[in-house]
Chain A
Amino acid sequence: MADLTKKSLTEIVSLIKKKEIKSEEVTNLFIKNIENDKKLNSFITNCNEHAIKKAKKFDKNPKLDTLLPGIPIAVKDLFCTEGVKTTAGSKMLDNFIPNYESTITKNLWNEGAFLLGKLNCDEYAMGSSNETSFFGNVMNPVAKNTVPGGSSGGSASALAADLTPTTIGTDTGGSIRQPASFTGTVGLKPTYGLCSRWGIVAFASSLDQAGPMTKTVEDCALMLEAMAGFDEKDSTSINKKKENYSKNLTNNIKGLKIGIPKEYRVDGMPKEIDELWENGKKILKESGAEIIDISLPNTKYALPTYYIVAPAEASSNLARYDGVKYGFRSNKGTNLIEMYENTRSEGFGDEVKRRILIGTYVLSSGYYDAYYIKAQKVRQLIKNDFDESFKKVDAILTPSTPSAAFKIGEKKNDPISMYLNDIFTVPVNLAGIPAISIPAGTDNNNYPLGLQLIGKTLDEQKLLNIAFAVEKKINFKQNLNRWWEK
């Protein structure tokens, strides 16, 4: 089965369940593909031996009544994995081996999956192009020298290049949905609190959320089902009954109301994005949904709010990296304070330092009210906008990003233009609600573009159903020339 690695996760699971293929065969095929990762640079750590061992163990006594039986999965290197180096894309953690397993990865392993490798990402998940990683740029399988998006860039790249059947990322301001959009894949940011944050290297704790990245919406439902669940170790975990997202998936969306926010039409957006947005509306109408124009008036303030709240939380979270208990320590300096200052200066990259400084500034005495409190007030207004809209509609349709993938280096020296990538994804994180990006078309370079569906708190099932219906009718075909294999 030469093309097995191109199949969806759901298809591979079904083949394993029907005993038509062994876990070890599946694992070996993906490991073979990973040999070609050099030019993509999507992996930081390979776990080939571990994966083969786990696959053999599975095949000896296959437990088939699980969601992910015998499935190898590479994960973003932000999830702590017991005994396996976890770097967060930073020099600071280049030698860090956790002695515990994150709840999300543990949930996957409990469903029969096992670790295939750790995937590159922007340093501490701070970036929109995977150019801030200490371990180098990741390239987009779609075209040489283009970025895969970020911060889950390694995850998106590995998935699109068939190096892993599915993967997981984290999304603080768009870090799952934007790379999914750039690589022609599906990415879901769940409701804040649906997936446990325990054991994930923290960036901005009130915004961070883990989610699935997959080739199809059906796969996405399956993965979310495996990941989601209450966790006592995360104080913001929502205590609710588990849902069977994959079993309940349907493309019957008759009578649902879909909102189109006028504020998501921005200057300079390529006309292809407008066209695919129109096409999305058309498809939804054909599927029996009703299209309603809505307004989210504070949308333009979401990014400025995010660039206060996220750095503020990051500066607090990253205070722990002091070179004492784990991670990198500088050997320069003669006293404790100098050791701290040199460790943090040498261990963090430029973007991380920039954000820590912004965060420290907005929280510092005399500026806290003007920046941080102001931002939390505007965050409330942004949340209110969504609350009002969801009185009228079931979901909201927008483009995922204001452009397709760009060239490596193109935006690196202009932080604002880099930040603008997340203009359509950030409001969702601020409001704590779920959103999914699905591939919907291409721009004039033939690079993929995504559509985003935004849902109400804990309304993932409906969101997946709408995405499923749209996906079927769009019938997006990934067309890669596989340049990285040559």
Chain B
Amino acid sequence: MSIDKDKIKHVSKLARISVDEKKIDDLTKDLSSIFKFIEQLNELNTDKVEPLSSILNEPLRSRKDEINDGKIRDKILENSPKKNEEFFVVPKVIE
């Protein structure tokens, strides 16, 4: 599978990263060489192998569904790029 400019534009849309037109040729070149490298895996027959789902020998724990912190709204809002009273502000989404 080869990587071309259109695929990169599609993926950058999915990843919500705008890609500079001037940089797209270099990016295509880099990603093509990286994919060529990772496609070495196709040499291996893995038909009978189960994909690894966890590196731990034990199953994941789940915690009790209870509140153990909170009341830090103002502290959290301090890090927001734009806020209005107790709300995060984003560009208008509804006309």
**A contacts, CB < 8 Å to B:** 95-97, 99, 192-193, 206, 232, 235-236, 238-239, 298, 300-301, 303-305, 307-308, 315, 322-329, 333-342, 344-345, 348, 353-354, 356-358, 360-361, 364, 367, 370-371, 373-381, 383, 415-416, 419, 431-432, 457
Contact = CB atoms under 8 A, between A and B. Distances in A.
State the main secondary structure of chain A at its contact with B.
helix
A370 B42 CA distance: 9
Contact of A341 (B7, B18, B44, B60): B18
A9 B17 CA distance: 44
A360 B15 contact: yes
Contacts of A304: 37-41
Contact of A354 (B31, B37, B75, B81): B31
Contacts of B55: 192, 206, 383, 431-432
B7 A361 contact: yes
B30 interface: yes
A304 B38 CA distance: 4
A325 B80 contact: yes
A315 B1 CA distance: 20
Contacts of B42: 374
A379 B38 CA distance: 13
B88 A324 contact: yes
Given A305-B41, A308-B38, A324-B90, A357 B17 contact: yes
Contacts of B8: 357
A229 to B, nearest CB: 15
Residue among B14, B16, B78, B90 having the largest count of chain A Cβ atoms under 10 Å:
B16
B38 A377 contact: no
Given A360-B14, A431-B55, A335 B93 contact: yes
A82 to B, nearest CB: 10
Nearest to A382: B52
Interface string B11-29: 1101111111000000100
A323 to B, nearest CB: 6
A380 B16 contact: no
Nearest to B64: A232
Contacts of A329: 81-82
Contacts of A315: 15
24 contacts: A97-B78, A99-B72, A99-B76, A235-B62, A236-B60, A304-B37, A305-B41, A308-B38, A326-B79, A327-B81, A328-B81, A329-B81, A335-B93, A354-B30, A354-B31, A356-B15, A357-B8, A357-B15, A357-B17, A358-B35, A360-B14, A376-B53, A380-B49, A381-B49
B81 A323 contact: yes
A325 B12 CA distance: 22
A341 B16 contact: yes
B3 to A, nearest CB: 8
A339 B91 contact: yes
A336 to B, nearest CB: 5
B58 A238 contact: yes
Given A301-B41, A356-B17, A416-B33, A236 B52 contact: no
Interface in B55-90: 55-58, 60-63, 72, 75-76, 78-82, 88, 90
Contacts, number: 159
Nearest to B36: A416
A96 B80 CA distance: 9
A337 B93 CA distance: 9
B88 A376 contact: no
A307 B17 contact: no
A31 to B, nearest CB: 28
B94 to A, nearest CB: 10
Nearest to B42: A374
A339 B57 CA distance: 42
Interface pairs A-B: 6 shortest CB-CB: A376-B51, A432-B55, A329-B81, A326-B79, A377-B46, A341-B18
Nearest to A380: B52
B50 interface: yes
A22 B46 CA distance: 60
B82 A376 contact: no
Given A342-B18, A344-B16, A345-B17, 17 more contacts: A206-B55, A235-B61, A236-B60, A324-B80, A325-B76, A327-B81, A334-B91, A335-B93, A338-B18, A345-B19, A358-B34, A360-B15, A361-B3, A364-B14, A374-B46, A378-B41, A380-B51
A236 B58 CA distance: 9
B38 A371 contact: yes
A263 B53 CA distance: 26
A419 to B, nearest CB: 8
Given A238-B56, A336-B91, A345-B18, A307 B30 contact: no
A232 B66 CA distance: 13
Nearest to A326: B79
A432 B41 contact: no
A300 B72 CA distance: 48
Contact of A301 (B1, B20, B44, B82): B44
